[in-house]
Structure 1
Amino acid sequence: MSLVVPTRRLPRTAAFWSVAVLLVLMLAASGVPSPLYRVYQEQFGFSSGVLTTIFGIYSFALLLSLLVVGGLSDHVGRRPVLVVAFVLEAGAMLLFLFADGVGWLLAARVVQGLATGGLTSTLGATLLDLQRREHPLGAFINSASPGLGLSLGAAGAGLLVQFVPSPTDWVFGVLTAVFLIAAVGTYLLPESSPRLPGALVSLRPRVHVPPLHRRAFLVALPCLVATWALGGLYASLGPSLVAQVFGIDNHLVGGLLILALNGTGIVGSLALRTSRPERALLLGALIFTVGVSGTLAALFTTSAALLFVAAVVTGFGFGAAFLGAVATITRGVAPGHRAGLLAAVFVVGYLAFSLPAIAAGAAVGAIGLTRTTEIYGAAVVALALLAVAALLRARRTAVGLTAPERSSEPVAA
């Protein structure tokens, strides 16, 4: 029996929003394991260090994928990369579904990381390809979708863990079907990218930032590291923090903490969507600093209410700053370099998401969860303030960032 592949393509606007939905679904799947880590930890009996290793190995696989195939769709087209990556994502969900030990979890996260790396850059570049010139929403959706997706995944999984028997069967069984359908549905999308020569050369692991975008990339770098590093801490150890430090032994509450951070990131992106990129980045970094300082105060007072308020403020700053960073870095990027540049942004993000969190997991055994979180928070505050200083210095030079950033267009460009 032969597979009948649809030949009729979606209209441009419908394709744009379909890609946006697929991006959010993929990121939701990456957030689903966070509330389940404690379930697996109790079931398989592993330490916090092993937990953050399972968390971190996903990011390393994702980074490898970004470095190797992050720009491939600029050369072979968007659709072929998306089909293969969605099939891999479905395979990862099957590994989670049948997991009966740490080895299975590690394998599942590796395969999921490989799939997510290919999907992150390719779906993001497709959004930039398909956005309407009069209403450019690509940068906004690329910056808001991590918060929305991770929030939906973490909160949904937390609800299932708390109230549904065999939650892992429900979560990963449904997601397997969803990603197989997505792989087939990808054929309905129009091919949106010119195919540049050099596909094989593009597979050499590298981070490529076009010369016109390098100054903006360096200015935004400390804020990218700070925001994603804090996101990694919440995703890996957030539910454990709620249970062990604040004494709330409820899986749903752990998921809601991740929702408080990532969900309000969407609000931050929306609130500053029409602002200039540099302004969104500056205000976001300052608000993020205030929020993390509130988290440190919550640890000192052991106030769970303050912890959640601080997470909301931090998330707002995260969303605004990440929107400003993405819009600043990608403004004016040529069509054939979009996937590669977005891959470079997410390489930095996922390195910051994984390495500090793994180090924190190892430190917990030596100095405790509270002390580890305090040091971690102080470090990300310092990085955010470094970004603020770099932005203010760039303003004083009156040179701007790069040629594309000197435009007066809002951050949604």
Structure 2
Amino acid sequence: MSAPPAVTARPPAGDPRRAPWKGAFPYVGAILVLFLAASSAPSPLYAIYQQQWHFTAWVLSVVFALYVVGLLGSLLVVGALSDHLGRRPVLAAAIGLEMVALVLFYVAGDVFVLSAARVLQGIATGAATTTLSATLVDLEPSHARGRAGVITSVSPLTGLALGALGSGVLVEFGPAPTRLVYTLLFGAMALAAVIVALMPETSLRRPGAAASLRPRVAMPAHLRADIVPVVPAMIAGWALAGMYLSLGPSVAAELLGLRSHLIGGVVVTLLTGTGALAVFLLRSRPAPSLLAPSSALLGLGTLISLAGVADDLAWLAAVGTVVSGLGMGASVLATFGTFARIAKPHERSEVFALANIIAYLGNSVPSVLGGIAVTVLGVRTATGIYALAIAVIAATALVLRLSRTRAERRAVVARAAEAPTATEAPATAEAPATAEAPATVASCH
């Protein structure tokens, strides 16, 4: 998982360090994919860790949630640090921390070391994704405006898909299933460190680094009417992702009898890979037009997957996962696109911080509750409850969006009906009060 693309001002054109390095842009995009691939690589391994260390499903969910805690904390605290220290120092620190996490994964012999590795990985990923997104904006070719936005939108889900699938292949067919994937990722991170050392610095140092570490979160009163309807869609999409990334491989093995570790990676890839494809195909669509369809697809896909699990039909569960993936990708565009559309420039950092909190709490809290439910109620019952809860939340998002759309249409019709009267009416002393009313009402929302 990743944060939305950072909104970053370009360095002055005369900055000598801004000299472009041909080929740097795709390398930076590849590093972004690498970080997200590393974050999903442990998913196919969780079943092996459970067998070796004999811990319960709720412990597994907590391990997953610890990554989200580290990621969210990093996004909120160091998300803007590269604007003050420069991109390269922050990227170098993030890569170094990720390499430490990979070493811990390699030597892990119990759940405590695994947890420490996940926390460090979350911190590193949060710092890297915001900085890499900003670097892509800095390095965007002048002849391809908008390419950075496409890369930062598609890369997170693409990385999650590649990491889970690649890890599943290595675990199933390679030697040392709990170590080989981390060895390869460590080597890739070392190569990324070399690229960062060679790339140009694209952001001038400026004061305020310490002040930038203070998290700023806000929901401006005038944006509440737009934000509230998207919250259920965010929670439904990210809760579904949390379920697949933490418990998906276990559900496939225990309920569908798919014991291959490759299947664990395929399960995650079906969701996130389809989501990445949806993001790419729908990237130019207006965010408001995607909210209702994405909510419907999320709910429908979840119910189809649940039917497949209930009837022991792996193909039906796979179809539901693909439908859910389409809904998840469209939901990411719809929800974060709404935040980007409604927030004014001076509000964006605080509003996107709020968006991240909603998304990642929706990702982690339900997965922990789901793990507890698996431990207490069993995999089948807990999976059913989890899926139905997501479907209900998605339906709520759909109803809220449709209600909002009807209200907007009524407002447009009302304004159109009043327009001739307003044009023909003579100016009076009451006119200024009428003109100020919308601003007054907005400030009270």
Does TM-score exceed 0.5, indicating one fold? yes
Cα separation, 2, equivalents of 1:83 and 1:177? 15
Partner residue of 1:370 out of 380, 387, 391: 380
Q: Which letter maps to 2:176?
A: S
Partner residue of 1:323 out of 316, 333, 345: 333
- Answer with 324-333 or 82-91: which moved more: 324-333
Match of 1:55 in 2: 64
**Higher RCO (CA 8 Å, separation ≥ 6 residues):** 1
Match of 1:314 in 2: 324
Q: CA deviation at 1:333?
A: 6.8
Q: CA deviation at 1:287?
A: 1.5
Cα separation, 1, equivalents of 2:356 and 2:382? 25
Assess if the C-alpha contact under 8 Å between 1:74 and 1:339 holds in 2: no
Match of 2:161 in 1: 151
Q: Which letter maps to 1:311?
A: T
Q: CA deviation at 1:140?
A: 3.6
Q: Which letter maps to 1:56?
A: A
Aligned 1:169-318 pairs, distance under 5 A: 169-193=179-203, 197-208=207-218, 216-318=226-328
- Answer with 167-176 or 111-120: which moved more: 167-176
Q: CA deviation at 1:132?
A: 5.8
TM-score by length of 1: 0.86
Cα separation, 2, equivalents of 1:207 and 1:321? 22
Assess if the C-alpha contact under 8 Å between 2:18 and 2:202 holds in 1: no
Aligned 1:108-123 pairs, distance under 5 A: 108-123=117-132
Mind listing any 5+ residue stretches in structure 1 that lack a counterpart?
1-6, 401-413
Q: Which letter maps to 1:374?
A: G
Q: CA deviation at 1:239?
A: 0.8
- Answer with 244-253 or 228-237: which moved more: 244-253
Q: CA deviation at 1:112?
A: 0.6
Q: Which letter maps to 1:26?
A: F
Residue 86 of structure 1 pairs with residue 86 of structure 2: no
Distance 1:39 1:158, change over 3 A: same
Cα separation, 2, equivalents of 1:326 and 1:360? 25
Corresponding pairs, count: 394
Match of 2:175 in 1: 165
Bigger-Rg structure (1/2): 2
Residue 19 of structure 1 pairs with residue 28 of structure 2: yes
Q: CA deviation at 1:245?
A: 1.0
TM-score by length of 2: 0.80
Assess if the C-alpha contact under 8 Å between 1:226 and 1:380 holds in 2: yes
- Answer with 236-245 or 173-182: which moved more: 173-182
Residue 351 of structure 1 pairs with residue 361 of structure 2: yes
Assess if the C-alpha contact under 8 Å between 2:32 and 2:129 holds in 1: yes
Q: CA deviation at 1:197?
A: 4.9
Match of 2:8 in 1: none
Mind listing any 5+ residue stretches in structure 2 that lack a counterpart?
1-15, 413-445
Deviations 1:165-201 (A, max 9, x none): 1033321112122223323422444444576653222
Q: CA deviation at 1:263?
A: 0.9
**SS of structure 2 residue aligned to 1:248:** coil
Distance 1:41 1:24, change over 3 A: same
Q: CA deviation at 1:261?
A: 0.7
Q: CA deviation at 1:327?
A: 2.5
Assess if the C-alpha contact under 8 Å between 2:40 and 2:163 holds in 1: yes
Q: Which letter maps to 2:79?
A: G
Assess if the C-alpha contact under 8 Å between 1:74 and 1:338 holds in 2: no
Q: CA deviation at 1:229?
A: 0.6
- Answer with 199-208 or 274-283: which moved more: 199-208
Distance 1:244 1:10, change over 3 A: farther
Assess if the C-alpha contact under 8 Å between 2:274 and 2:326 holds in 1: yes
Deviations 1:343-368 (A, max 9, x none): 54333322222111111111112111
Distance 1:83 1:241, change over 3 A: same
Identity of aligned residues (%): 42
Please tell me the root mean square deviation across aligned C-alpha atoms, in Å.
2.8
Cα separation, 2, equivalents of 1:392 and 1:19? 40
Match of 1:66 in 2: 75
Deviations 1:49-68 (A, max 9, x none): 22222111111121221222
Cα separation, 2, equivalents of 1:40 and 1:12? 43
Cα separation, 2, equivalents of 1:140 and 1:223? 22
Residue 29 of structure 1 pairs with residue 38 of structure 2: yes
Distance 1:89 1:371, change over 3 A: same
Match of 2:107 in 1: 98
Distance 1:231 1:67, change over 3 A: same
Distance 1:236 1:383, change over 3 A: same
